[in-house]
């Protein structure tokens, strides 16, 4: 069973003593998962060989493909019979050979019939279906295929996830503490770390799929005292959804801020603005300088390294030492420098992939409302029935997107993933969730809700409009409290950057993927496709594509 993660295994008493506080802390933080780790019974006789780096590979499921097996068997038997016939034909006369070929024909016909029957039975579970999106008779089979897909390939074991989170929390806390202390030395007129960190992304929103090996963490920065960020929408610069960050000094803009302005600001319309590029570069260098001390302090627990690409947040790689935790997954943690601009809202550098407008792209920032999204999700969780399947729907849809993406040709393949980004899927889910009664999201209706989500996305793609859920939305539920400048911002279309043809193609492929889901799952889940990890950690691939220059 591939879905079952290896149970806890501890090899040394010393490691246990060291590990326990961390795991206990994680249990308290995350409210489940890691907390039970210390109490899990050891698996089998202890002291086995050290586990490989990635338990998710422990058991790819090998299934016999009936479609291939039966024709092969038929061909093999026919060949055997022919050989037998030829040998006999050589020995006996013409007449005898004539008589012998009758049972041969009968045998072959029977085998062929068997083969056809087997193919029909094997194919009944899925395969492309004509007509409507779903035929009533096959709903059970489709649901079964999706459930199996979820359990075997998508679901992340809470145990392993708890361990990974605890580990990441420990290491990042050390690094941030070191970076904060060191930041105080250059003097009060530089940037510094606020000293905390904010866990965001799917691993912390309970919709991570596959393996708990990628994490996103915001690292809030602090401006010099008496200097305040003043974010504004950057519409006049022609970029929707981007912000500029002006600065206001209480009591005027005295000359003593000059060193700060020279180090971190660009001039825009005659005024000083915080530059995302300069801040990011400073942050990268700063973390690199602190890494040595932290690496030394953590050497008993893990090996850490930092990869730095220009224009991207640095990625911290963590490889746990073999005796420290039981689940030896190596982890990649994106550390994103963030300027706090209000309650649970941050400005972060825009990803370099976005087409940026020409004037001063280094002055532009993106809004990161991940913490607000977490609040919305927990608010929804309270309102929805206990067995609500909305997160499972999101996970399954992400899984299908990734599977389908493997079978597409290149220019379309990367666009497919970019159009149907996790953020787009999540936004669609939010809109749909807030439309209807939340009782409808009970686990029993998984298939119906998933289909709703697919159809909703299809309509958005056809209309080429999916609005940002937070920006410029005046009717947000009261659980999310946004400052006025965001509520009054111009609404942002998340699909505006893509051309119509691409969106049409994506809509078509999406429906296709949904209709053929069981077939696609079967096809791309064969060992041949499972061997190279379906989607290696995004952070790692990004780092590989652009090797560090510094
Ligand atoms: C915030 O940052 C996380 C991590 O990089 C990212 O997944 C998310 O999409 C960002 N949110 C927005 C609104 O850009
Ligand atoms: C704005 O928020 C409401 C929920 O209060 C939601 O139903 C609606 O879809 C949101 N608008 C957009 C454009 O996302």
81-95, 120-134, 351-365, 528-542: least confident range: 120-134
Shortest-distance Cα residue to atom 4 of ligand 1:
216
342 has pLDDT over 90: no
Q: Average of pLDDT values for 195-222? A: 90
Per-residue pLDDT at 512: 94
453 has pLDDT over 90: yes
54/274: higher pLDDT? 274
Full set of structural domains in the chain with CATH: 1-14+60-123 (no CATH), 158-368 (3.30.460.90), 370-515 (1.10.1410.40)
Shortest-distance Cα residue to atom 4 of ligand 2:
476
Nearby residues of 141 by Cβ (< 8 Å), 6 or more positions away: 124, 125, 126, 518
E strands, 188-279, are: 192-193, 198-200, 214-222, 227-233, 242-249, 265-268, 271-274
Establish whether residue 475 lines the binding site of ligand 2, counting it when its CB lies within 6 angstroms of any ligand atom: yes
* Ligand 2 centroid distance, CA of 236 (Å): 25
Shortest-distance Cα residue to atom 14 of ligand 1:
368
* Ligand 2 centroid distance, CA of 352 (Å): 28
73 has pLDDT over 80: no
Pick from 219, 394, 423 the residue to mutate for probing ligand 1's pocket: most ligand atoms within 8 Å of its CB.
423
Per-residue pLDDT at 286: 93
Q: Which atom of ligand 2 is nearest to the CA of 472?
A: 13
Q: How confident is residue 154, by pLDDT bands cut at 50, 70 and 90?
A: very high
Closest CA to 380 of 439, 424, 454: 439
Tokens of 243: 């912000």
Per-residue pLDDT at 57: 35
Q: Average of pLDDT values for 185-206? A: 83
* Ligand 1 centroid distance, CA of 72 (Å): 50
Q: Which atom of ligand 2 is nearest to the CA of 476?
A: 5
100-109, 137-146, 455-464, 500-509: least confident range: 100-109
Closest CA to 160 of 23, 318, 342: 23
* Ligand 2 centroid distance, CA of 431 (Å): 6
pLDDT tens track for 281-292: 999 999 999 998
Establish whether residue 486 lines the binding site of ligand 1, counting it when its CB lies within 6 angstroms of any ligand atom: no
Per-residue pLDDT at 360: 63
Per-residue pLDDT at 37: 34
* Ligand 1 centroid distance, CA of 251 (Å): 34
362 has pLDDT over 60: yes
* Ligand 2 centroid distance, CA of 387 (Å): 24
Nearby residues of 378 by Cβ (< 8 Å), 6 or more positions away: none
Per-residue pLDDT at 190: 83
Ligand nearest to the CA of 365: 1
pLDDT tens track for 399-448: 999 999 988 888 898 899 999 999 999 999 999 999 989 999 999 999 99
Shortest-distance Cα residue to atom 6 of ligand 2:
431
Q: Which atom of ligand 2 is nearest to the CA of 434?
A: 7
Q: Average of pLDDT values for 209-229? A: 90
pLDDT tens track for 31-63: 333 333 333 333 333 333 333 333 333 333 344
Shortest-distance Cα residue to atom 9 of ligand 2:
431
Establish whether residue 537 lines the binding site of ligand 1, counting it when its CB lies within 6 angstroms of any ligand atom: no
Pick from 425, 438, 473, 476 the residue to mutate for probing ligand 2's pocket: most ligand atoms within 8 Å of its CB.
473
Per-residue pLDDT at 211: 79
208/27: higher pLDDT? 208
* Ligand 1 centroid distance, CA of 88 (Å): 74
* Ligand 1 centroid distance, CA of 366 (Å): 9
* Ligand 1 centroid distance, CA of 139 (Å): 35
Establish whether residue 427 lines the binding site of ligand 1, counting it when its CB lies within 6 angstroms of any ligand atom: no
Ligand nearest to the CA of 204: 1
Cα separation, 316 vs 335, in Å, equals: 7
Establish whether residue 183 lines the binding site of ligand 1, counting it when its CB lies within 6 angstroms of any ligand atom: no
Residue positions counted in the chain: 550
Establish whether residue 142 lines the binding site of ligand 1, counting it when its CB lies within 6 angstroms of any ligand atom: no
Per-residue pLDDT at 81: 59
Ligand nearest to the CA of 421: 1
* Ligand 2 centroid distance, CA of 434 (Å): 7
CA distances from 330 to 156, 302, 521 (A): 15, 10, 27
Tokens of 17: 């003593």
Establish whether residue 201 lines the binding site of ligand 1, counting it when its CB lies within 6 angstroms of any ligand atom: yes
190-199, 242-251, 297-306: least confident range: 242-251
Helices 390-406 + 500-515 axis angle, to 10: 110
Per-residue pLDDT at 530: 53
148 has pLDDT over 80: yes
pLDDT tens track for 243-258: 999 998 887 777 778 8
Closest CA to 278 of 266, 286, 296, 288: 266
13-27, 109-123, 383-397: least confident range: 13-27
11 has pLDDT over 50: no
Q: Which atom of ligand 1 is nearest to the CA of 468?
A: 13
CA distances from 371 to 217, 218, 230, 339, 376 (A): 11, 10, 20, 13, 9
Shortest-distance Cα residue to atom 12 of ligand 1:
368
Mean pLDDT of the chain: 76
Q: Which atom of ligand 2 is nearest to the CA of 467?
A: 13
Q: Which atom of ligand 1 is nearest to the CA of 201?
A: 7
Q: Which atom of ligand 1 is nearest to the CA of 423?
A: 9
Per-residue pLDDT at 187: 55
Q: What are phi and psi of 261, to 5 degrees?
A: -60, -40
Tokens of 48: 């086995």
Q: Average of pLDDT values for 373-381? A: 92
Shortest-distance Cα residue to atom 1 of ligand 1:
368
Q: Average of pLDDT values for 306-334? A: 87
Shortest-distance Cα residue to atom 3 of ligand 1:
201
Tokens of 320: 């746990």
Q: How confident is residue 119, by pLDDT bands cut at 50, 70 and 90?
A: very low
Q: How confident is residue 30, by pLDDT bands cut at 50, 70 and 90?
A: very low
96/502: higher pLDDT? 502
Q: How confident is residue 318, by pLDDT bands cut at 50, 70 and 90?
A: very high
Pick from 373, 453, 475 the residue to mutate for probing ligand 2's pocket: most ligand atoms within 8 Å of its CB.
475
Share of the chain above pLDDT 90, in %: 41
Q: How confident is residue 537, by pLDDT bands cut at 50, 70 and 90?
A: low
């Amino acid at each position: 069973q591939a879905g079952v993660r290896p149970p806890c295994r501890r090899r040394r008493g010393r490691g246990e003593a060291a590990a326990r506080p961390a795991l206990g802390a994680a249990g308290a933080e995350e409210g489940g998962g890691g907390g039970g780790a210390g109490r899990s019974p050891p698996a089998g006789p202890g002291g086995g060989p050290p586990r490989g780096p990635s338990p998710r590979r422990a058991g790819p499921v090998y299934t016999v493909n009936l479609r291939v097996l039966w024709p092969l068997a038929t061909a093999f038997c026919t060949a055997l019979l022919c050989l037998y016939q030829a040998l006999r034909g050589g020995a006996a006369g013409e007449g005898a050979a004539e008589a012998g070929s009758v049972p041969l024909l009968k045998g072959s016909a029977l085998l062929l019939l068997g083969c056809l029957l087997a193919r029909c039975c094997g194919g009944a579970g899925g395969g492309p279906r004509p007509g409507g999106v779903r035929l009533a008779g096959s709903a059970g089979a489709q649901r079964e295929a999706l459930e199996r897909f979820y359990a075997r390939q998508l679901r992340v074991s809470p145990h392993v996830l708890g361990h990974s989170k605890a580990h990441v929390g420990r290491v990042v806390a050390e690094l941030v503490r070191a970076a904060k202390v060191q930041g105080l030395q250059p003097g009060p007129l530089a940037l510094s770390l606020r000293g905390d960190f904010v866990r965001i992304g799917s691993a912390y929103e309970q919709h991570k799929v596959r393996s708990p090996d990628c994490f996103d963490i915001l690292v809030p920065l602090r401006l010099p005292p008496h200097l305040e960020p003043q974010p504004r929408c950057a519409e006049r610069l022609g970029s929707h959804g981007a912000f500029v960050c002006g600065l206001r000094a209480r009591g005027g803009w005295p000359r003593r801020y000059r060193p700060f302005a020279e180090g971190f600001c660009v001039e825009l319309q005659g005024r000083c603005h915080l530059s995302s590029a300069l801040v990011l570069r400073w942050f990268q260098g700063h973390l690199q300088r602190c890494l040595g001390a932290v690496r030394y302090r953590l050497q008993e627990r893990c090996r850490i390294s930092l990869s730095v690409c220009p224009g991207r947040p640095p990625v911290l790689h963590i490889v746990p030492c073999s005796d420290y935790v039981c689940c030896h997954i190596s982890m990649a943690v994106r550390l994103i420098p963030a300027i706090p601009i209000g309650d649970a809202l941050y400005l972060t550098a825009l990803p370099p992939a976005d087409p940026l407008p020409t004037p001063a792209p280094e002055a532009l920032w993106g809004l990161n409302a991940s913490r607000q999204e977490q609040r919305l999700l927990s608010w929804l969780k309270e309102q929805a029935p206990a067995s609500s399947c909305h997160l499972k729907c999101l996970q399954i849809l992400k899984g299908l997107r990734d599977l389908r993406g493997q079978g597409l040709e290149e220019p379309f393949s990367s666009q497919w993933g970019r159009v149907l980004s996790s953020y787009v899927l999540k936004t669609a889910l939010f809109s749909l969730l807030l439309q209807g009664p939340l009782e409808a999201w009970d686990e029993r209706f998984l298939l119906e809700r998933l289909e709703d989500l697919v159809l909703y996305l299809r309509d958005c793609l056809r209309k080429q409009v999916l609005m940002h859920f937070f920006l410029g939305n005046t009717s947000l539920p009261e659980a999310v409290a946004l400052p006025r400048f965001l509520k009054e911002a111009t609404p942002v279309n998340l699909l505006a950057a893509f051309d119509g043809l691409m969106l049409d193609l994506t809509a078509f492929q999406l429906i296709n993927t949904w209709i053929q889901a069981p077939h696609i799952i079967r096809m791309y889940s064969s060992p041949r496709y499972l061997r190279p990890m379906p989607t290696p950690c995004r952070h790692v691939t990004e780092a590989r594509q652009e090797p560090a220059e510094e």
